[in-house]
Amino acid sequence: MSSAETNAAARIRVRGLAKRYGAFEVFRDVAFDVGQREVVTIVGASGCGKTTLLRCLDGLLPADGGEIWIDAQRLAAPIAGVAMVFQHFGLFPWKTVYDNVAYGLRMAGASREEIGRRVPHFIALVGLAGFEQAYPYQMSGGMQQRCGLARALAIDPAVLLMDEPFAAVDAQTREILQFELLRIWEGKPTSMIFVTHSIEEAVLMGDRVFVLKGRPSRVAETIAIDLPRPRTRATLRLPRFAELRERVWSTLMSEARQAEFQLSGG
Amino acid sequence: MRESSGSAAAYHLGRHLPFALSLAGGLALWELVGRESSPAFLVPFSTTMERLWELLVGGTLVAETLDSAGLFATGFLLSVVVGIAAGLVLARVQVLRVALEPYIMILYATPMVALIPFILSLMGFGFIPKVLVVFLFGVFPVLYNTVEGARSIKPEMLEVARSFRSGERALWRDVMLPYTLPFAMTGIRLAIGRCLVGMVAAEFFLSSNGLGQLIMSASQNFDTGGLFAAITVICLIGVGLMRLGFALESRFAHWRK
Ligand SMILES: Nc1ncnc2c1ncn2[C@@H]1O[C@H](COP(=O)(O)OP(=O)(O)O)[C@@H](O)[C@H]1O
Ligand SMILES: [Mg+2]
């Protein structure tokens, strides 16, 4: 997708976004567009403000400057059509898988009939069929995040916000979930912003990788990922995949090295 | 098949045998000591059971137990409803909580028996002052545990609710209440025991009927058998209610690990 196309079809537009916690400036001058069927992955050191940025994009946190537009709507509070998948899963432990997946639909005022139709569909889509009546504490981390994903997908979001969704699961499960998410996304491509601290994951999932850097941080680099879709396990073996991974890596590391020098110098 | 049911029986026997033996031993000890004691202050188990049977057949026991049960149920339900409602409000409205916390702590710590003479002089005998005593015994554990529970909800949970655009009412119904219920249940379990104490105390001081009065009058009439019969009934009710309390608590708290 060329950048002109991306802009024409932008679903998310962020302009001059800034956020402070008291005197601590998290990021400044963050600006980007995300297309209607584009996956943007965001990488950056821990604490650089990735979660804060997503919370702003979900309308959970007011920015201190700048604007966020979703289609023709300027964001001020959580809006319909934007769904978040949380790093800590965010499931309600007193609700079954079925009731957790139904939660977003119920909050959106869906009819009983619609809930009864959509919930089983999305439970099956994420591979949780048969676990409808299970409680979160009875399931592994990977299964819990499948449930979190189904809850987000069930409201048919135009924008999916993913905050390190697979960071809290073991490496094998993580790999399985990455390819399942790719499969699900191919079935119904939407705007997706996917935060991760894994460089491989960023390259595998994204159409573009944003590198968040600096203090206060900003989008320091944008790396276009011209790997073919659909992405599968074979993608990991492409020479181009290794090249792109190295590029993201060196962009991130230049800062890590600087920070190290500053530390030893100070 | 037969063998497995046989081993299941053996398992149950092994589990319950120590308890059954210690209970039988305790009752035997009561019987023996009771026979050697002056009937003015202790009668044996067998005499207690005979007297219990007389009171039961005569209808006195049933009438007084029903009377007490009505008092207990009214005061207890009131303390649950008020404790949970006020607890949720206090958890949500910080000003109120900060302002009222000292009173709650003081009243939770005060042995409520100390207030009974005051209630007597203020309201006299009757059903309402008795209910008030039972209520005061039970309300503070419910209130306190509800406040602590509701306040311990993780901000992440509230953020999930906001992210899915929950309204205030849905927030209470889907998040705050189900989250708080197990904590309130702990308070309710404590309240069951305390309300039972409150019931007997209220009947001692403010009543002419109920199991508490049965104890008082038996003791005044040197009816030691009747005294122990009433104590036994209260004891059984207490054990039953406690088990009910634990069952309720685990029913609502199963997800809390
Ligand atoms: N509610 C808050 N109040 C104050 N500081 C915060 C708050 N939330 C996050 N921070 C700080 O802001 C910075 C960015 O946090 P976060 O967005 O969680 O980073 P990331 O997700 O990239 O690890 C961190 O230094 C963190 O300590
Ligand atoms: Mg984070």
What is the arithmetic mean of pLDDT over A62-84?
93
From chain A, pick out residues whose CB is under 8 angstroms from the CB of B161.
107
Q: Which of A48, A162, A252 to mutate to test the pocket of ligand 1 (most atoms within 8 A of CB)?
A: A48
The alpha-carbon gap from A103 to the nearest alpha carbon of chain B, in Å, equals 8
Average pLDDT (A70-74) is 91
- How many other CB atoms sit within 10 Å of the CB of residue B219? 14
Residue A2's pLDDT band, with cuts at 50, 70 and 90, is: very low
pLDDT, tens digit, 9 for 90 and up, residues B210-242: 999 989 998 888 888 889 999 999 999 999 998
Contact of B171 with chain A, judged by CB distance below 8 Å, is answered with no
**Nearest chain A residue to B170, by CA:** A107
Asked whether residue B70 falls in the same domain as residue B189, the answer is yes
Interval B159-170: pLDDT, tens: 999 999 999 899
Q: Are residues B10 and B116 in the same domain?
A: no
B19 plus B49 within the same structural domain: no
Answer yes or no: is the C-beta of A51 below 6 A from any ligand 1 atom. yes
Q: Does residue A160 contact residue A152 with C-beta atoms inside 8 Å?
A: yes
**Residues of chain B under the 70 pLDDT cut:** 1-6, 257
Chain B CA closest to residue A85: B160
pLDDT tens-place string over residues A240-262: 999 999 999 999 887 666 665 55
Q: B62 and B10 in one domain?
A: no
Q: Do B97 and B155 reside in the same domain of the chain?
A: yes
Q: Are residues B126 and B237 in the same domain?
A: yes
For residue A53, give the ligand 1 atom closest to its CA.
17
The confidence score (pLDDT) of residue B184 equals 92
Sequence-separated (6 or more) residues with CB below 8 Å from residue A35: A1, A5, A6, A7, A9, A10, A11, A191, A207
Contact between A90 and B160 using a beta-carbon 8 Å cutoff: yes
List of domains in chain A: 3-81+157-259 (3.40.50.300)
Q: Which of the four pLDDT bands, split at 50, 70 and 90, describes residue A36?
A: very high
pLDDT at position A260 = 59
> Mean pLDDT, to the nearest integer, of A141-146?
96
Chain B interface test: which of A55, A92, A96 (most B C-beta within 10 Å): A92
Verify that B32 and B54 share a domain, yes or no: no
What is the SS3 assignment for A160? strand
Report the domain count for chain B: 2
* Kind and range of the H or E run holding B247: helix B224-253
- Cβ–Cβ contact B152 with A under 8 A: no
Q: What pLDDT is stored for residue A259 in this prediction?
A: 61
Residues of B in contact with A97 (CB under 8 A): none
pLDDT one-digit tens code per residue, A168-220:
999 999 999 999 999 999 999 999 999 998 999 999 999 999 999 988 999 98
Is A149 within 8 Å of chain B by CB? no
Report d(CA A174, CA A142) in Å as an integer: 7
Contact by Cβ (8 Å): B76, B137? no
**pLDDT for A265:** 46
pLDDT averaged over every residue in chain A: 91
The residue length of chain A stands at 266
Residue of A nearest to B159 (CA): A60
CB–CB of B164 and A137 under 8 A? no
**pLDDT value of residue A11:** 94
Q: Cβ separation of A103 and B255 shorter than 8 Å?
A: no
Among the partner-chain residues B162, B174, B257, the one whose CB lies closest to the CB of A78 is B162
Asked if residue B81 and residue B5 are part of one domain, the reply reads no
A184 Cβ partners below 8 Å, 6+ apart?
A: A125, A126, A149, A153
Residue A5: pLDDT over 70: no
The angle that helices B60-92 and B224-253 make with each other, rounded to 10 degrees, is: 40
Q: Do B3 and B99 fall within a single domain?
A: no
> Is residue B87 located within the same domain as residue B20?
no
Which protein residue's CA is at the shortest distance from atom 26 of ligand 1? A47
Interface check B183 vs A, CB under 8 A: no
Query: Nearest 10 degrees: CA dihedral of B183, B81, B108, B204?
Result: -130
Q: For residue A99, which of A132, A76, A126 has the smallest C-alpha distance?
A: A132
Q: Is A50 in the pocket of ligand 1 (CB under 6 A)?
A: yes
Q: How far is CA A216 from the centre of its chain?
A: 21
Which chain B residues are closer than 8 Å to A80 by Cβ? 165
- Domain with residue B162: its CATH number is 1.10.3720.10
Residues from chain A that touch B170, judged by Cβ atoms under 8 A, are 106-107
Do residue B66 and residue B118 come from a single domain? yes
Look at strands A10-21 and A24-35 and give their pairing: antiparallel
Q: How far is the CA of A49 from the centre of ligand 1 (A)?
A: 6
Closest residue (by CA) to atom 2 of ligand 1? A21
Distance of CA A228 to the CA centre of its chain: 20
Q: Model ipTM?
A: 0.90
Q: The domain containing residue B18 runs over which residues?
A: 1-36
Are the C-beta atoms of residues A89 and A143 closer than 8 Å to each other? no
Residues B54 and B26 in one domain: no
Question: Would you say the CB of residue A21 lies under 6 angstroms from ligand 1?
Answer: yes
Flag whether residue B36 sits within 8 Å of chain A, measured between CB atoms.
no
